[in-house]
Structure 1
Amino acid sequence: MNDAWLYVMLLGAAAVVYAFLIPKEKSAKQASGSDRVVQQVEQTLEQYMVEMEKENDDLVNLLVQIRQETGAKQLALQEQLGDMRGRLAEMERTAGKHEARIEQLSSVDPRAAQEAAIQLRNELLENAATLSPSPEPQPEPEDSVRHRYPQLFELHDQGKSVDFIAKAIGLQRGEIQLILRLAKREEA
């Protein structure tokens, strides 16, 4: 009977040892599976961080480039502003000289003053043409359509519609269209 009892004890001990070994194997398999998941997550995060770092570097480079371009444009605009101020000062000096000359001539003879004013205006336009890189429009004849309807052309140059101009000035729509066509014909 002792032998049977011994066999039962050995069999029980083997079952207990086997029971302890089975969960360890499963937990080891689960641990190796979770290790793989952790490794995959770490790799994904590392790739994401590398991409973010690259995008940040690109963004910083872009901002540096924009800052440099803005600085260069600002310097160019400051130079242009200085040039324009110089031109304006020159034009003001010239205008002052011409005004003094017109006043001087107007005290002598009004007709001569008018002729001198026309001559001075032409000189000013020539002077402005030499100072300005863009060509100035040629003076319009005294009896041009633009001189007869200054308010109409002012509104038209502002981009107002024909209907708006008609209401504002009190002319018919057809009259305004005719005047605009005549002005185009005169300019050509």
Structure 2
Amino acid sequence: MWQYIALLGAVIAIAALIMPRNKNETAVSAKPLQKMELAFEQFMENMELDIEEMSSLAAEAHRQTNERLDAQHRKIVELEQQLAELRLSSPAADCPPAASTTGSAPAWAEGTAQGAGVIAAAAEAAAAASVAVSAASGAGDTAPDVDEQPSPSAAETHADASASGTIQARYEQLIQLYKEGKSIEAIAKRLQMNKGEVQLILQLAKQEAAAHA
């Protein structure tokens, strides 16, 4: 935009220099002045077309970003519903049954493993939504505090879910911050995680603690 303004100023300055200074020069300089006026009008038309094109591109990008955000939001809602249905269908909330003599895992352990899978999927969806929001907002991002340690990605966090122990063991730092009285927003900022992911982890950890009680 500043280039257009500078070019416009240059055109005006040149027009002022070549304008006739007396009546005798009027007839001689009429044609060059007309050509310059036509060139100036063409320049303004081209500038208007460029502005309209940029506006159209910005509107299309905004529309596509909103569509991606809506899709990610629907995915998160579906995963939360699945987690709620899992809690309702799991018998671990009241009294976990004892393990059988054959060594098979109790029902509450199976429910915990399934809940961990749901959390992994929700974390991936939340991370994708965060990326979409960052792309839509453009500038304005600030650097993280020096004392904050970056958390691993959602895929790395849940890569060894099947080989790990309990939820509280795999998210020990997160649960410890919550026990210290940190808010969900503060924990998410400290660990660079999505607030929805932190809430799901805390809910599953509470269910697991109730199952072991």
State TM-score, norm by structure 2. Answer: 0.43
Q: Which has the higher helix share?
A: 1
